[in-house]
Amino acid sequence: MKKVCVLFVVLLAAGCDQPPSADGLPEWKPSDHRSSDDTPGGGNPGQRPPAKGAEIPQLVELTWQQQCSTCHGPFGKGDGPQGPMLHARDLSDPSWQSKVSDDDIAASIRAGKDKMPKYDLPDPVMKGIVARIRQIKGS
């Protein structure tokens, strides 16, 4: 019995040294791949798919929490954990809000400004972030 077990283990180990045969497997095609970050229609593989209706508010809030609130704080007052050190702007300041257009805000987000890095956000998310900033005016 001991010889049979040893022979089995030796044969099993010998079989593990070789990769499985690819004979009979179909060739992989991009259309075979499915995941939540695929671009519909076979677009640029490194690019995220456009956001859809109900997802946009969630993406805006998630973006705010992960990218903006660290410096600007939860309500845009510049009081996030990094805000005082980086002199983050108080986005709720009515005088600042009256001086900048929505396009100015979006351009600052896209290009970065002072110590703020640039963020390449999809247009629907960018519009949502700008709208969120406008909502905090004077709050």
Q: What is the pLDDT of residues 23-59, one digit of tens each?
A: 777 777 777 766 655 545 444 555 555 555 668 899 9
Domain membership of residue 9 (yes or no) is no
What are the backbone angles phi and psi of residue 113, rounded to the nearest 5°?
Answer: -155, 130
- The CB-side HSE value for 21 (13 A sphere, CA atoms) comes to 3
Domain membership of residue 37 (yes or no) is no
Beta bridge partners of 131: none
Is the confidence at residue 5, as pLDDT, over 60?
no
Mean pLDDT of 74-100: 94
Residue 88: give the domain boundaries: 70-135
Domain membership of residue 11 (yes or no) is no
Percent of the chain with pLDDT over 70: 68
Domain membership of residue 109 (yes or no) is yes
Q: What is the pTM of this model?
A: 0.61
Domain membership of residue 89 (yes or no) is yes
Domain membership of residue 1 (yes or no) is no
Q: Locate tokens 């703020």: which residue?
A: 116
Least Cα distance to 108 among 84, 88, 135 occurs for 88
